[in-house]
Amino acid sequence: MSLCIYKKILGPFFRRFKVSNLAITAERLRCWSSSDFWSYIIDCEKRVFTSKFSQLPGYRLLSLGAIGDRKSLDCFGQLHRFSFYASDIEDQHAAVCDYSQLPMPTGVLDVVLLQHGLEFSSSPKLVLAEVCRVVMPGGHLVLCVFNPFGFHGSIKFLMQLLTRRPQYRFHNLRKNRLIDWLSLLSFHVLEVTHIAHKPFGFGNYRAQSSFESWCEALNIPFGNVYIIHAIKREVQGIGWKRTSWASSPKRYGKASQNINSISHDSVMTSTASDG
């Protein structure tokens, strides 16, 4: 009886910290996508996309995001750029799917952009494994994740207690943790960039201050967002040279030629003489 009472009391409390399915979260994040802070985050990410990833090789690029920003695709140079969405929150969305079950063959994409779709997913490991599956060997993966040590990530637990806003319902994914996951999935991390160092609700979001430029130049790991650039390694098997089997040289010839044949008559004659 007491256990049921505890569940009724503590159940709603612990549900505040639970990360919902991305399809549900994406619909709730629609209002937050029009805020100044989200616009600031997107502007910082697009600046990095243009400066560092606009010349990535390849033909096909897939964009996956918690909300979905079509303008981010314009920062890349691939000819075939398309997006999948977790929820149909706008009329122009072309395809909606579960990020843990992408409707794509294995190893067909040159570049994949995962823009905050990892930490807002209920199962980040499954999403990351599925995204890595569709990247071809030698392809590139760009991850945009909220930093647990940034201002937005550091106030997450407090805001979960005080409010039910969806922008605070995400997993705290440390940079080193994701690097370990990527290593197990045959990816090599090339670079980690920390951006958006302005705290929430402070200053003009559109203008990049000298303080923020200084933090990005030193890559100080306390920005609101970090971006991981990884490349998929080409997995090769054990190399071995195929050799043709050759017959061994005949050293002794046939066995019948090496045995001294003795007739039965000679054996009997030798026995009689001994007797």
Specify the amino acid at residue 120: F
Nearest to 224 by CA among 194, 252, 189: 194
CATH of the domain at 125: 3.40.50.150
Would you state the structure tokens that stand for residue 133, as one six-digit string?
A: 């599956």
Confidence of residue 227 (pLDDT cuts 50, 70, 90): very high
- What is the domain count for the chain? 1
In a domain, 221, yes or no: yes
Residue-wise pLDDT tens digits, 132-142: 999 999 999 99
Q: Which domain holds residue 64?
A: 21-232
Count of C-beta atoms within a 10 Å radius of residue 2 = 6
In a domain, 6, yes or no: no
Would you state the structure tokens that stand for residue 40, as one six-digit string?
A: 């600031």
Residue-wise pLDDT tens digits, 83-106: 998 887 666 656 889 999 999 999
In a domain, 107, yes or no: yes
In a domain, 12, yes or no: no
Query: Comparing 208 with 219, which gets the higher pLDDT?
Result: 219
In a domain, 252, yes or no: no
Instruction: In whole angstroms, give the CA distance from residue 101 to residue 224.
Output: 29
Nearest to 26 by CA among 81, 82, 99: 99
Confidence of residue 203 (pLDDT cuts 50, 70, 90): low
Nearest to 86 by CA among 109, 70, 102: 102
Q: Per-residue pLDDT for 248 more than 60? A: no
Q: pTM above 0.75?
A: yes
Q: Which residues contact 60 (CB under 8 A, 6 or more apart)?
A: 78, 80, 108, 109, 110, 111
In a domain, 253, yes or no: no
Residue-wise pLDDT tens digits, 131-177: 999 999 999 999 999 999 999 999 998 888 888 888 999 999 999 99
Q: Per-residue pLDDT for 127 more than 80? A: yes
In a domain, 126, yes or no: yes
In a domain, 242, yes or no: no
What's the average model confidence in pLDDT over 6-32? 75
